[in-house]
Amino acid sequence: MADVLLMAQNLRKAFGGLVAVDDVSIQVASDTTHSIIGPNGAGKTTLFNLLTGRYRPTRGAVIYKGRDITTLPVHARAHLGIGRSFQITNVFPNLTVLENARLAAQALGKDNFRILRRADSFAAYTRRAHEVLEITGLRDVLAVPANVLPHGGKRKLELAMILASDPELLLLDEPTAGMASEQVPELIAIIERIRAEGRKTIIMVEHNMNVVMNISNRITVMHQGRVLAEGDPRQIAQDKTVQAVYLGELYDLPTGGSA
């Protein structure tokens, strides 16, 4: 079996009486794109927050590279190589695209670049910023203030900023949220370029089935806090239960009986 990079073991998160994540176990293999899908309120973002350290689970464990990180805070996980995006926009609006990317490279770059002199490390951050802006298709808007970018451009800049610190695991919560459908193929291409950099694993929550079915190696379907199904895109697309609770509703497919 492929190397397991991250494992969730019997995770549970309750908010008062509401169990948002209920006994969820997943294994994410290195160098794969693993998508989490499911209807609104299924517990996808809550699971993400347990994986990134924003929330502590009520029960269960998160294991990264064989190490129990269940109680580590977000920044400590970031230093281990776990980068995440947010559903909210978190770029500096008045700084240029290049400056935002360089700051992101700098934020976590200390360990990688500590041995370098100040001027050299600035050059290294700038180089990394240029690399990630190339990957995310922002090369032509380097000098544009972030707040002038259209929505799709801001989403790409967020991706560039996570990538800047060179994480081994990227957690993307709805990367296409708010994007026009004609921008979706470009986003798919960007994610493929991110993977092509090598040594990159992606866990993605996404509602756009075109994106999910195109780029996922593995898909976990959540429903009411629990894992409903898991498999490769073909298995998930053909799964009758998944069709009934989720895909049927999205695609308006017949969910049983004679069509």
Ligand X SMILES: Nc1ncnc2c1ncn2[C@@H]1O[C@H](COP(=O)(O)OP(=O)(O)OP(=O)(O)O)[C@@H](O)[C@H]1O
Q: Cβ 221 to ligand X, closest distance in Å? A: 11
Length of the chain: 259
Question: Should residue 45 be labelled a site residue for Mg ion when binding is judged by CB under 5 A?
Answer: yes
Residues in 40-59 at the binding interface with ligand X, rule: CB under 6 A:
40-46
Structure tokens at 64: 């990264």
Is the Cβ of residue 43 or residue 81 nearer to Mg ion in the bound state? Answer: 43
Is the Cβ of residue 46 or residue 121 nearer to Mg ion in the bound state? Answer: 46
- Count other C-beta atoms under 10 Å from residue 9's C-beta: 17
Question: Should residue 52 be labelled a site residue for Mg ion when binding is judged by CB under 5 A?
Answer: no
| Residue 18's binding partner out of ligand X, Mg ion, none, with CB under 5 to 8 Å set by partner kind | ligand X
Q: Which is nearest to 152 in space by CA: 187, 179, 181?
A: 179
Is the Cβ of residue 44 or residue 195 nearer to Mg ion in the bound state? Answer: 44
| Residue 42's binding partner out of Mg ion, ligand X, none, with CB under 5 to 8 Å set by partner kind | ligand X
Q: Strands, DSSP E only, in 148-212?
A: 169-173, 201-205
Residues sharing a CB contact under 8 Å with residue 62, sequence separation 6 or more, in sequence order:
6, 7, 8, 9, 11, 50, 51, 68, 69, 70
Is the Cβ of residue 43 or residue 152 nearer to ligand X in the bound state? Answer: 43
Q: Do 54 and 86 touch, CB atoms closer than 8 A? A: no
| Residue 15's binding partner out of Mg ion, ligand X, none, with CB under 5 to 8 Å set by partner kind | ligand X
- φ, ψ of residue 222 to 5 degrees: the values are -105, 150
Query: Which residue's CB atom is positioned nearest to Mg ion?
Result: 45
Q: Cβ 17 to ligand X, closest distance in Å? A: 10
Q: Cβ 69 to ligand X, closest distance in Å? A: 20
With contacts defined by CB under 6 A, how many residues of the chain interact with ligand X? 11
Is the Cβ of residue 19 or residue 103 nearer to ligand X in the bound state? Answer: 19
Q: Do 98 and 90 touch, CB atoms closer than 8 A? A: no
Contacts 24+ apart (CB under 8 A), 238-243: none
By the criterion CB under 5 A, which residues form the site for Mg ion? 44-45
- State the residues that interact with ligand X by CB under 6 A: 15, 18, 20, 38, 40-46
